[in-house]
Structure 1
Amino acid sequence: MMERLTLYLLMFLLLFTGCEPKEDIAEPELVVEGWITSGGHPLVMLHKSISFNESFESVASLIEDKLVPFGKVTIDDGTQKVILTGRLDTNYIPPYRYSSVEIIGEEGKTYSLTAEYENIILTATTTIPPRAYFDSIQIEQKGENTDAMEMRAFISDAAHSPKYYVLFYRALGTIQYYNTFLGVFDNSGAKEGILSIPIYYSVASGTIGQDKPVLFFKKGMDLEFMLTRVDKASYDFWKTFSAISVSSGSAFLPIHGKIISNVSGGKGYWCGYGSSSYIVKLRNDTTLIFDNDNTKTDKYTSLSTKIPQKEQVQSEG
């Protein structure tokens, strides 16, 4: 699992360079990867970009060379400015992150980030929109002779104004989230106030170490989905990142295209997520129906990551 996470984040590093191979190795740029969820604390990672033709002896040596452990990261939420604390965290690659319990993400608030390292200053701003919710998820096994499970989610959205979504998942009990394949979407496809969204396995996580792409989740998987609403700048980042990562096919081939970033002075992203989290255990054909009455606080529990989570629902029939 750790090897797969390493390759996945290396793809981030390579994509951020956004260039064709050149004879001269470009001067590395500072890259920020950061987010804040509704009800959660900010989490930020800093590292240097990688040129396509840059060589390295091992993944460990690459991480050591590109890691930025002594930067300064400040978050301004409009009422206070907080300098984040950096510490080692082997749950992430690179294994160093900046965070603070002094800031908790709130819907409707805007958060400005400033990252400083060796006379380089990066800035970015993001807003946490109101949270998104699933109304239901349909789960159906694709056939008797397969363990592939087809999933489709339904979201109420009257589409009176543009809304933007990103759907993430992770194996239950793990740390790293992946964006699902085709999981970056807006509400332009809503019909009669309902968005119908297929849920596919992540291309990035599903193809590494396998002979062919995996499109469907498998029966027996225990999963946690995080449905998020994002602002337009975050949507543009995830939309272009997803499109380029899929079309490029490999983290180690030339990257064609440019990722739209909301970071000034460097590369990367700083995203606010209005998020709701759901646990789904794939067992049998079923439809999961969720009660999204926010006044029923007993429907929510607290995860270690401080992400609001709906009551655990299992598809065990």
Structure 2
Amino acid sequence: MKKIGLLSLIFLLIVLVSCSREDYVKSVDGESKIVVEGWIEQGDVPQVILSRSIPINAVIDSTTIFDYFIRSAKVTVSDGENEEVLSLRSDKDRVPPYVYHGSKIIGEVGKTYALKIEYLNKIIKATTTIPNVVTIKSAKYVKENPADAKGFVHLEFNDPILEKNYYQIETRLDKEEPIFVPALYGNLNDENFISPSISLQVTRGIYVLSKTKYEPYFRDGDLIFVKLRTMSKEGFDFWNSWQNEIINGRSPIFPANTSLKSNIKGGIGIWEGYGQSTISIQTPQKK
């Protein structure tokens, strides 16, 4: 295999871990699978990233990697009343660097959204519903030692007693990270809570395109945005399996023995609706 850059390696990790080893071997002489990462948050437009899985015998370099980005699909989202064809935009902050964006349909709690992707002779479908929002009660920057220049975020919220909820925590550093990224161990199932009053430490997530070395903590001078997202069981299972791949350091060249969970019919990946509550934290200025 030819040498490939960091962006290509990251892309390989994302698309390859989406297949089990058995399915991946079968795909060597067969068709690539459509890989979907799609979402619609409460208060925001639908967005979808599309790519194709890469056969193990493919020769990949900085030029051919772009052949696996899908930029000519017809992506449609419907809320049962309105339907919208999403427009393709370039987004250098994501992998792949192309995102299909909506502009008319806005996510609402309780609504169900149908995704339809038409590409070549394939039709890929999925549905999702945006769950109730759970509001962040408070978030603060805490240091183990006052003399330290680094610390973690402590987040508090109340888990509704009469609801079944799954959560994901995301973080973003202003001027360093252009998008929210999942916090490490930030996928939560409320069946594990011993009290409806939740207080926990948030560890910074891994932004794969960062130009600086990864650190699990935050530092003095940071403006931190923290997002608490509610999601479905399918979304929880997908992000848990994704987190396991990252934490276990799976090879970017060969997939894991188990698949990432998926709710996509005709492809692999995730189409998920999220309720969301966001808060900002300004840490003390650097000394």
TM-score, with structure 2 as normaliser: 0.85
- What's the offset of the Cα at 1:258? 1.7
Alignment of 1:298-313 (within 5 A): none
1:172–1:214 CA distance, 2 compared to 1 (3 A):
closer
User: Retained in 2: the 8 A contact 1:150–1:217?
Assistant: yes
> In terms of mean alpha carbon deviation, does 28-37 or 147-156 score higher?
147-156
Q: Distance in 2 between matches of 1:145 and 1:18?
A: 47
**Structure 1 residue 48 corresponds to structure 2 residue 52:** yes
CA deviations 1:214-252 (Å, max 9, x no partner) are 332233222222211111211111111112221235534
Q: Distance in 2 between matches of 1:19 and 1:283?
A: 48
Aligned match of 2:198 in 195, 200, 203?
195
- What's the offset of the Cα at 1:18? 3.1
The code of the aligned residue for 2:75 comes to V
CA deviations 1:47-77 (Å, max 9, x no partner) are 111245543122x531x21111110111110
1:122–1:33 CA distance, 2 compared to 1 (3 A):
same
User: Retained in 1: the 8 A contact 2:50–2:69?
Assistant: yes
Q: Distance in 1 between matches of 2:210 and 2:97?
A: 23
1:130 is aligned to: 132
**Structure 1 residue 235 corresponds to structure 2 residue 236:** yes
Q: Distance in 2 between matches of 1:13 and 1:69?
A: 16
2:151 is aligned to: 149
1:88 is aligned to: 90
2:141 is aligned to: 139
**Structure 1 residue 216 corresponds to structure 2 residue 217:** yes
CA deviations 1:73-99 (Å, max 9, x no partner) are 111101122221223333433222212
Alignment of 1:167-316 (within 5 A): 167-173=169-175, 174-203=177-206, 205=208, 210=213, 214-252=215-253, 254-283=255-284
- What's the offset of the Cα at 1:33? 1.2
Secondary structure in 1 matching 2:13: helix
List 4+ stretches of structure 1 deviating above 4 A.
Answer: 3-10, 20-24, 203-210
CA deviations 1:169-225 (Å, max 9, x no partner) are 122244322100000102123344212222012256499975xx7332233222222
User: Retained in 1: the 8 A contact 2:18–2:255?
Assistant: no
1:5–1:273 CA distance, 2 compared to 1 (3 A):
farther
Q: How many residues align?
A: 279
Give the CA RMSD over aligned residues.
2.8
Unaligned 5+ runs, structure 1: 285-315
1:11–1:282 CA distance, 2 compared to 1 (3 A):
farther
User: Retained in 1: the 8 A contact 2:139–2:281?
Assistant: no
CA deviations 1:252-285 (Å, max 9, x no partner) are 454232211111111111111111122222228x
TM-score, with structure 1 as normaliser: 0.78
Aligned match of 1:165 in 141, 164, 167?
167
User: Retained in 2: the 8 A contact 1:8–1:204?
Assistant: no
Unaligned 5+ runs, structure 2: none
| Percentage of identical aligned residues | 28
Secondary structure in 2 matching 1:236: helix
The code of the aligned residue for 2:201 comes to P
Q: Distance in 2 between matches of 1:143 and 1:228?
A: 30
User: Retained in 1: the 8 A contact 2:16–2:252?
Assistant: yes
